[in-house]
Structure 1
Amino acid sequence: MKAAIYNRVSKDEQFREGYSIESQKEHCISFTKSQKWLVYDTYVEEGVSAKNLNRPAIQALIADAKEHKFEVVVFYKLDRLVRSVRDLDDLLKLFDENNIAIRSVTEPFDTTTAIGRFLITLVAAIAQWERETISERVVVNMTKKAMLGERNGGKPPFGYEYINGELVIKEEEARFVRDIFRLYNNGKGMRTIALFLNQFGIKKDIRTIGKMLDNPVYTGKLRWGNNSKLDVIVSEDIKHPTIIDEDIFNLTQQYRKLRTVEGKKATSPFHFSGVLRCARCGSALSGYTKKSRGSKHYICIAKKNSGTCDLPMFTEKALTTEFFLNLSADDPERFFQLSQEDLKAHPIEQQDQSLKIDELKKELAAIKTRKKTWLMALGNQVISQEEYLEMTQEDTKKETILSEELNNVVEDYSPLDYESVISLLNNISDMWESANDFEKKSFINELFETITVDIPSEYKRAPGKSPSVIIERFKLK
Structure 2
Amino acid sequence: MLRVAIYSRKSVETDTGESIKNQIAICKQYFKRQNEECKFEIFEDEGFSGSNINRPSFQRMMELAKIRQFDVIAVYKIDRIARNIVDFVNVYDELDKLNIKLISITEGFDPSTPVGKMMMMLLASFAEMERMNIAQRVKDNMKELAKMGHWSGGTPPKGYKANRIKENSKKITHLELIEDDAKDIKEIFEQYALGLSMYKISKSFKAKGKNYPNKTISNILINPTYLKATNESVKYLESQGYTVYGEPNNCGFLPYNRRPKSNGKKTWNNIDKFVSISIHKPIIDLELWVRVQEKLKEKTIAPHPHESSYSFLSGGLIRCKCGGHMLLKPGAPRKKVPQKYYFVCANKWNGIGCPSKHLRVDYAEDDFLSFLEKFLDKNYLKEYLNQSNDIKGIDQEIKSINKKIKSNDILINNLIDKLALMSNDASKLLMKKIEDLTQNNNSLKEYLLKSQREKLLNDLNKNNIDVIYDTIKKILNTSNNDLRRIYIKNLVKEIIYDYDTNSLNIIISKLGVI
1:37 aligns with 2:38: yes
The aligned counterpart of 1:221 is 253
Q: Any residues of structure 2 matched to 1:299-448 within 5 Å, and which?
A: 300=344, 314=361, 319-329=364-374, 354-360=395-401, 400-406=442-448, 430-434=470-474, 437-444=485-492, 446-448=493-495
Tell me whether 205-214 or 425-434 shows the greater mean CA deviation. 425-434
Q: Which residue of 2 aligns with 1:257?
A: 297
Q: TM-score scaled by structure 1?
A: 0.68
How far apart are residue 241 of structure 1 and its match?
A: 1.5
Do the aligned residues in 2 keep the contact of 1:329 with 1:425 (CA within 8 Å)? no
Distance 1:431 1:48, change over 3 A: same
Residue 21, structure 1, aligned to residue 20, structure 2 = yes
Scaled by the length of structure 2, what TM-score is found? 0.64
Indicate if the aligned counterparts of 1:225 and 1:231 stay in contact, CA closer than 8 A: yes
Match of 1:245 in 2: 285
Question: What residue in structure 1 maps to residue 186 of structure 2?
Answer: 178
CA distance in 1, matches of 2:373, 2:207: 44
Distance in 2 (alpha carbons) for counterparts of 1:267 and 1:398 = 43
- Structure 2 distance, partners of 1:37, 1:324, is 92
Superposed CA offset, 1:224-245 (max 9, x none): 1222367222113x31122333
Q: Tell me the distance in 2 between the aligned counterparts of 1:313 and 1:452.
A: 12
Task: Tell me by how many angstroms 1:211 deviates.
Answer: 2.2
- Name the Cα RMSD after superposition: 4.9
Q: Give 2:225's aligned amino acid.
A: V
User: Secondary structure of the residue that 1:69 maps to in structure 2?
Assistant: coil
One of 319, 322, 326 as aligned partner of 1:285: 326
Give deviations 1:260-315, integer Å, cap 9, x for gaps: 22443699995454354689x998532589xxxxxx97654789999xx9969746
Contact 1:11/1:48, CA 8 A, preserved across alignment: yes
- Could you tell me whether the CA contact under 8 Å between 2:376 and 2:469 is conserved in 1? no
Shift of 1:438: 4.3
- Segment drifting more, 212-221 vs 242-251: 242-251
1:99 aligns with 99
2:162 aligned residue: 162
Q: Retained in 2: the 8 A contact 1:276–1:285?
A: yes
> Would you say the 8 A contact 1:9–1:21 is kept in 2?
yes
Q: Secondary structure at the match of 1:329?
A: helix
Unaligned segments of structure 2, at least 5 residues: 165-172, 228-251, 261-269, 331-339, 409-434, 476-482, 508-514
SS of alignment partner, residue 227 of structure 1 = coil
User: 2-side partners of 1:243 and 1:204: how far apart?
Assistant: 17
Q: Quick one: structure 1 residues 97 and 208, their matched pair in 2 at CA, closer, same or farther if it must change by over 3 Å?
A: farther
Higher RCO (CA < 8 A, seq sep 6+): 1
8 Å Cα contact 2:341-2:361 kept in structure 1: yes
Q: Which residue type is aligned with residue 82 of structure 1?
A: A
- Whether the aligned pair in 2 keeps the contact of 1:50 and 1:82 (CA below 8 Å) is yes
- Per the alignment, residue 274 of structure 2 pairs with 233
Amino acid at match of 1:222: L
Distance in 2 separating the partners of 1:356 and 1:409? 8
Q: Report what 1:386 is aligned to.
A: none
Alpha-carbon distance change, 301 to 33 in structure 1, aligned in 2, over 3 angstroms? farther
1:113 deviates by 0.7
2-side partners of 1:56 and 1:231: how far apart? 35
Q: Give the partner amino acid of 2:7.
A: Y
Deviation string for 1:85-104 (max 9, x for gaps)? 21111111111111121122
1:274 equivalent in structure 2: 316
Question: CA separation in 2, counterparts of 1:194 and 1:163?
Answer: 29
The match for 2:153 is: 153
Q: Which residue of 2 aligns with 1:51?
A: 51
Q: Secondary structure at the match of 1:151?
A: coil
Alpha-carbon distance between aligned partners in 2 of 1:244 and 1:408, rounded to the nearest angstrom: 23
Query: Offset at 1:394?
Result: 11
The alpha carbon displacement at 1:183 in A equals 2.3
Residues 344-402 of structure 1, C-alpha deviations (whole Å, 9 max, x = no match): xx9999977642322335778999xxxxxxxxxxxxxxxxxxxxxxxxx9999777522
Give me the whole-angstrom Cα distance separating, in 2, the residues matched to 1:121 and 1:394. Answer: 45
Counterpart-to-counterpart distance in 2, 1:365 and 1:199 = 56
Q: Distance in 1 between matches of 2:295 and 2:359?
A: 34
Partner Cα distance (1:397, 1:160) in 2: 42
What's 1:117 paired with? Answer: 117
The equivalent of 2:502 in structure 1 is 472
Distance 1:39 1:11, change over 3 A: same
CA displacement at 1:39 relative to structure 2? 2.7
Following TM superposition, by how much is the alpha carbon of 1:205 offset from its aligned partner in structure 2, in angstroms? 4.5
Find out whether 1:134 has 2:134 as its counterpart: yes
Which residues of structure 1 form unaligned runs of 5+?
290-295, 336-342, 368-392, 454-470
Distance 1:427 1:81, change over 3 A: closer
CA contact (8 A) 2:326 2:343 kept: yes
Q: Percent identity?
A: 27
Q: Structure 1 residue 152: deviation in Å?
A: 1.0
- Look up the equivalent residue of 1:151 and give its one-letter code: W
**One-letter identity of the residue aligned with 1:36:** E
**Equivalent residue of 2:281, what SS?**
coil
Quick one: distance in 1 between partners of 2:319 and 2:218? 34
Q: Any idea what SS the aligned residue of 2:374 has?
A: coil
Residue-by-residue CA offset, 1:420-452 (whole Å, 9 max, x unaligned): 9xxx999966333457744522543x2433365
DSSP-derived class of the 2:127 partner: helix
Structure 2: distance between partners of 1:194 and 1:365? 48
- Cα offset, 1:214, TM superposition: 1.3
Contact 1:180 / 1:193 at 8 angstroms: preserved in 2? yes
